[in-house]
Amino acid sequence: MSGSSAGSRAKAHTGLMPELPEVDALVHFLGSRIVGDFITRTDIGELSILKTADPPLEAISGLEISGVSRVGKALIIEFDGLDLVCRFARAGWLIWHEQVPTGPVRMGKGPLGLRIHLASGAGFDISEAGTKKNASVALVHDRAEVAAVAGAGPDALSIEDDQFAAVLKGSTARIKTVLEDQSLISGIGNAYSDEILHTAKLSPFAPANGVDAEALLEVIRGVLGAACEALNDLPPAKVKTAKKRGLRVHGRTGQTCPVCGSTIAEVSYADKSLQYCPGCQTGGKKLSDRRMDRLLK
Ligand SMILES: [Zn+2]
């Protein structure tokens, strides 16, 4: 099995799920545009995106947006006494309209999940390009009513040194798995965990409790901080491309490591893959790829 065929197969399922820096970019972009504006109308394009029924979505029509914030990878549009919690899953994103289309929305056709109309004439969509519709919107009195928000661990950009040390010390799981566990530390997904481990020169399969927490946390802050800085002034339509451009190993199977010149390798799972540099991270050794092994038998 050649490396190039593994790489081309990987492309099909290397989804760039929005992570902390991308959602942070949305918070910055929307914060200066929609806070103080009023919702005039909401359109649903995909019924399954709305996870709550009480209060009804119409309850936000006429309300002033009082804030925009983020918990981990979730975006929160705030009203006085209500939170609209938007989660993007693998293929969801936000589309901004300087002039929001006012025509009727065709239900169940295309990527549109929810369209929000603002009094200013602008608006935005929560959309999802994938065939699996996993993006979600919940209208709640308090964000803590959303299990994923209530159960989110400390934010990856603000977790304290001792908190992070305790997270690692308490787990024998692979460090890659721990970094992506939103209940332990929130905001990091598949792409940035690959980038963080590459910068830290750690194998994704290293047991968490053997990792130098202080050094790794410094790398987390560096990688996410740099990504936030690169994305923060961009409109939503440009964020994903800019993210991709900034990645050094994730999604780059078969390419050359910019640090050591080795060929970037991957491990594939049923629905995703991770990338790493054998030269920087695993002493030149290839990690076992169970899916590839199975195909070779
Ligand atoms: Zn390398």
Residue 232 three-state SS: coil
Ligand 1 center to 285 CA (angstroms): 12
Ligand 1 center to 204 CA (angstroms): 14
How far, in Å, are 44, 97, 115, 168 from residue 105 at the CA level?
Answer: 7, 15, 9, 47
Which tokens is 100 given?
A: 């929001």
Ligand 1 center to 65 CA (angstroms): 46
Ligand 1 center to 276 CA (angstroms): 8
Please give the Cα distance from 262 to 284 (Å, whole number): 8
> Which residues have C-beta within 8 Å of that of residue 5, sequence separation ≥ 6?
none
Ligand 1 center to 257 CA (angstroms): 5
Ligand 1 center to 177 CA (angstroms): 21
Ligand 1 center to 196 CA (angstroms): 13
Q: Locate the domains of the chain by residue range.
A: 3-16+154-296, 35-150
Ligand 1 center to 180 CA (angstroms): 22
Ligand 1 center to 262 CA (angstroms): 5
Please give the Cα distance from 115 to 222 (Å, whole number): 35
Q: What is the CATH number of domain 35-150?
A: 3.20.190.10
Ligand 1 center to 275 CA (angstroms): 11
Q: From the CB of residue 176, how many other CB atoms can be counted at a distance below 10 Å?
A: 23
DSSP letter at 63?
P
Q: Residue 11: what pLDDT?
A: 39
Sequential DSSP letters for 74-126: EEEEEETTEEEEEE-TTTEEEEEESS---SPPPTTSSSEEEEEEETTS-EEEE
What class does CATH assign to 3-16+154-296?
Answer: mainly alpha
Residue 268 three-state SS: strand
Q: Residue 290: what pLDDT?
A: 65
Q: Residue 12: what pLDDT?
A: 38
Ligand 1 center to 286 CA (angstroms): 13
Please give the Cα distance from 35 to 65 (Å, whole number): 5
Ligand 1 center to 216 CA (angstroms): 17
Q: What is the pTM of this model?
A: 0.91
Ligand 1 center to 201 CA (angstroms): 8
Q: Which helix (H) or strand (E) holds 165?
A: helix 161-169
> What is the crossing angle of helices 236-246 and 213-231, to 10°?
140
Q: Residue 8: what pLDDT?
A: 39
Ligand 1 center to 280 CA (angstroms): 4
Ligand 1 center to 256 CA (angstroms): 8
Ligand 1 center to 287 CA (angstroms): 14
DSSP letter at 255?
S
Which tokens is 192 given?
A: 């940035």
* pLDDT per residue rounded down to tens, the chain (297 residues): 333 444 434 333 445 899 999 999 999 999 999 999 999 999 999 999 999 999 999 999 999 999 999 999 999 999 999 999 999 998 899 999 999 999 999 888 889 999 999 999 999 999 998 777 789 999 999 999 999 999 999 999 999 999 999 999 999 999 999 999 999 999 999 999 999 999 999 999 999 999 999 999 999 999 999 999 999 989 999 999 999 999 999 999 999 999 999 999 999 988 889 999 999 999 999 998 765 555 554
Q: Residue 55: what pLDDT?
A: 96
Please give the Cα distance from 47 to 59 (Å, whole number): 17
User: By the 8 A CB rule, do 9 and 273 touch?
Assistant: no
